[in-house]
Structures are given as C-alpha cells and as structure tokens.
Amino acid sequence: MELNTHSVLLCVHVRLDPEQTGFIAVENFTSLAQQHELQLDPTKLDMLLALVQSDQHGHVCYQELIELLSSKRSSSFRRAIANGRRTLQREILLDETGLGVYKRFVRYVAYEILPCETDRRWYFHQNRLCPPPVFMAIITIVQIVVFMCYGVRLNKWVLQTYQPEFMKSPLVYHPGHRTQVWRFLSYMFMHVGLEQLGFNALLQLMIGVPLEMVHGILRISLLYMAGVVAGSLTVSITDMRAPVVGGSGGVYALCSAHLANVVMNWAGMKCPYKLLRMVLALVCMSSEVGRAVWLRFSPPLPSSGPQPSFMAHLSGAVVGISMGLLILRSYEESLHKQCSWWVLVFSFITFLLFAIFWNIFAYELLDVQIPPPP
C-alpha cells in the first residue's frame, strides 16, 4: 500500500538529506525505493528518474521531489521533457493490460489528444474524472433543448430561418438588434435546422469532450466562447446586413485547434487512422462552410431578409489555429507565463475593441441599409 505524501517526505528528509543541503542523490533514492522501504507509484518513480537524468550531477532538488509527489510537474521537469533528456523505464502506455472500460477510454483520449508518451502516461495516471467534462455536455444539451422547443412550436425542423417567428427569437443575432449585446453570444443556441444541429453536436462531443478531459473546463470553455464571440463580431464587420445562428464559431475553433495540433505534432500523434480521419474532418467542415455560403447567397426559398452569414465558421477557425493551438500545446503549463499567450490576448482584446467601435459608428457612417428587425 502506497504511503501518504507526508510520510514519504519525512522519510526522504531524514534518510536521504541528513545535512539539509536541499539536494538528493539519485543512487540513494533508487536504493531506498528498490528495498521497498519507500513505496512509490511506479509512474512517479519513472518521472523522478527522468528529472534526475536531466541534471549533470545526478541530483534532484528536494522541492522538485515535493512537487512531484504532490502531483505537480516542476518547471525543471518540463524542461527535461522538452529537451528530450530522459528515458522511460516501463513499456508504453498502449501495452498496459487488464484495464477497465473507463481506463481504456482515458487511454484512448490520451493517445487522441497528446503527442508525447510521457505526457500521455502522466495524464493517464493522474486522471480522476474530477471535475468531469461537463461544459461541452451542457452546451450540447441546451442547444438540443432549444432546437426541440422551436421545432415543436414552429412545426418546422429544417430551414427554420425561413420561419418569421424563428428570427424573432431574442437569442438570434440580428444587425438591427445589435445593441442587445447578449445576442453576440446567445446565437450559439439557435440552429438553421436539424442538419446543422446534428453536425455541431457530433463534433462538439467527439472532439470537445476529449479536449476538455485533458485540458480542463477553463481552457476549453475559453476557446469555445472566444470562437463564438469572434464569429458574431466578424459577421458584424464583414457581412453587416446578415444575422447569425448556430454554434459553428465555437465548434470550428475546437476542430481547427485540434487539427492544427495534430499536424504540428504529426510524428508523435499515435491516434489510429489519423490521416483518414483528418481528411474526413476537413471534407465535413468544408462541406458545412459550402452549404452555409450557398444558403447565404442562393437561398432555395424566398425569404423576407438575408440568410445567416457563414463568416462565423471562418473566424472560429482562425481563433482555433491561433489561440487554440497555443492552449493545446501548453498541456500542464501555465499560459500566463508565456509571452506568446499575452500577445494573443492583446490581439483578441484589440479586435474586440475595434469591433465595438465599428458596431457603434460604422453602420451610420457607411449608411448601411439594415433589413428591418423581425
């Protein structure tokens, strides 16, 4: 049975660093572990040896040992991984046997999302399903419930935007109602029809849930919401007469970030059939954009006003490739410590401020003829 962290640290402090130098020789630590006097998780022991091998004196800092046993990866350990100065003592994670259904799913997620074997094993052994990936599940459920309510109310399940009552919803973004700022975000709960909802829900669950399991609710919710807000603001600048519905901005932010991460780490990604899956994802995403363009400029039925814009798809993809790629490449690292993160944050804030001023002044200065609000 594994000792608790306090007992382990007390034993290490007394026996391995009696002179209180702050450093521990790896030979002493390994000897104690092999004698079963110090029982450690084998994964943590491998991580410790990887950290020690990056030190030219074969020592490990006492504080770094505390962080490791407390399930925190020190900056020195991350540098050791980045520089490739370590070896893995055990077989690769894919060879682990006797796993339950949940652990097999966690292993699948690790190989789907993470390009480094050490990161996969760290995530696999630290995963506790707490907190669960609730963000993408809640967003998808709310979108389905809203769609079902409008479907029953309007008795229409495809091309709902052709129904005037649908466009009167307080959730739809319409340029005539742009002073109601919540619409720049709430439009993600409305969808053109069953086909758009199905496409978005499928991608959110297939890609968003694994991403949230690995990178956490804060990072993935930030990425998704940034794509949604960027989508509506981009439409208000580039397609000023068009409304917006659907969560495609957020969905494309997730998808483009994941695909870009796979491309950037192609050799390390071990997900099965990655080339085929990437081609299918690109085909599906391109088809959805093409369909949106067709509905925008060549609607199949006469309508009272312009159809929803497709620019939210493209702006979501830009957000995913820029901000999302940095988020996914920074697993277990603090974003606020990276200069590139602050550059992206500054760029996004600059875009938000520009879009706000554009929505306040540009419509009148350019004398844009906005279709009357429904």
Angle between helices 217-238 and 339-357 (to 10 degrees): 40
* Among 76, 68, 62, 65, CA closest to 19: 62
- Sign of the C-alpha dihedral, residues 49, 53, 57, 62? negative
Which helix (DSSP H) or strand (DSSP E) does residue 6 occupy? helix 5-15
C-alpha to C-alpha distance for 231 and 316, rounded to whole angstroms: 6
Tokens of 153: 């109310």
Q: Which residues are catalytic?
A: 248, 313
C-alpha to C-alpha distance for 39 and 61, rounded to whole angstroms: 19
* Among 283, 295, 294, 293, CA closest to 313: 293
Helix (H, G, I), strand (E, B) or coil at 85: coil
Q: Is 50 within 8 Å of 18 (Cβ atoms)? A: no
